[in-house]
Amino acid sequence: MKKVFTLMIIFIFIISLSIKVFSHPSTQGNRIIWGETSNTTINVGWSIYDNDHHTNNRVIMYKVDNSAASYRNMISQGAMRWAPSFTIMESQNALGVIFTDNNPNSGVIARIHMMQSDSSNHFTSWRMTLNTARLITATTIAHEFGHVIGLVDLNHNDNINKLMYFSDASTAAFPHSSDIKGANVITGQHTTHTSGYTRAGSVGITPRFVKTCTVCDAIIRPKPLFCWAMWILAAA
């Protein structure tokens, strides 16, 4: 029995060596889970799109179109809310431009759109449009800059205290620590994921054990063989 147990430990160790996590979202594939997932009970608290547009550094520059000139101070206030984690500032050399429109038929307060990126999915251009028919605040603009970083909306009520919560019902006026954690993964400031394995239900008949990073809270999905190995050990 002792020999079998030893062999099982070696087997698990070999399998675990294949579990790799990368900081850049376009290289993480299906190996990492964040945000609001239906097959675990763990709420990570931040979410990013794999292989989607995002910034590649911690300095973001924007230009203010003439249509948005009266909102310049508010835009600056929204940008400053990401300090000191990010420096977001106005510059004529910026990749992004902020405009306004007036659309009383839309419930959208602001949006990021017309995004272009390079082969690494790093922004080469983007546009933020503020809907002046709605109440625009510095918090709204800070939320939109979160999208420029690469974060996406959170919809679960557990995340109502996050800046990236999808509606203006959010209780956050500044980036929550979870917002910062996700941003750090996107920009590569957080590259080493450390944790232990935790049972978090099953998918069909396959037991699911998840590896939750102690730094960024992301869930790293083990391979199915590893799940079965952990299940055998738990049953022993």
Neighbours of 192 (CB within 10 A): 9
Residue 135 has pLDDT above 90, yes or no: yes
Q: Average pLDDT of 41-47?
A: 76
Q: Average pLDDT of 4-22?
A: 44
User: Residue 17 has what pLDDT?
Assistant: 37
- Cβ distance 82 to 58 under 8 Å? no
User: Residue 56 has what pLDDT?
Assistant: 82
Q: Per-residue pLDDT tens for 185-212? A: 888 887 777 766 555 555 555 555 667 7
Query: Looking at this protein, which amino acid is placed at residue 96?
Result: G
- Cβ distance 41 to 201 under 8 Å? yes
Closest listed residue to residue 123, CA positions, set 136, 114, 131? 114
H/E stretch holding 72: helix 72-80
Q: Does the global pTM surpass 0.85?
A: no
Per mean pLDDT, which range of 23-27, 76-80, 115-119, 165-169 is the poorest?
Answer: 23-27
User: Residue 82 has what pLDDT?
Assistant: 97
Task: Give CA–CA dist 96/117, Å, rounded.
Answer: 12
Over the chain, what is the mean pLDDT?
A: 77
- Cβ distance 20 to 211 under 8 Å? no
Residue scoring higher pLDDT (24 or 85): 85
Task: Give CA–CA dist 110/152, Å, rounded.
Answer: 14
User: Residue 185 has what pLDDT?
Assistant: 86
Q: Average pLDDT of 77-100?
A: 96
Residue 114 has pLDDT above 60, yes or no: yes
Instruction: For the chain, list the domains and their CATH numbers.
Output: 19-49+190-235 (no CATH), 59-149 (3.40.390.10)
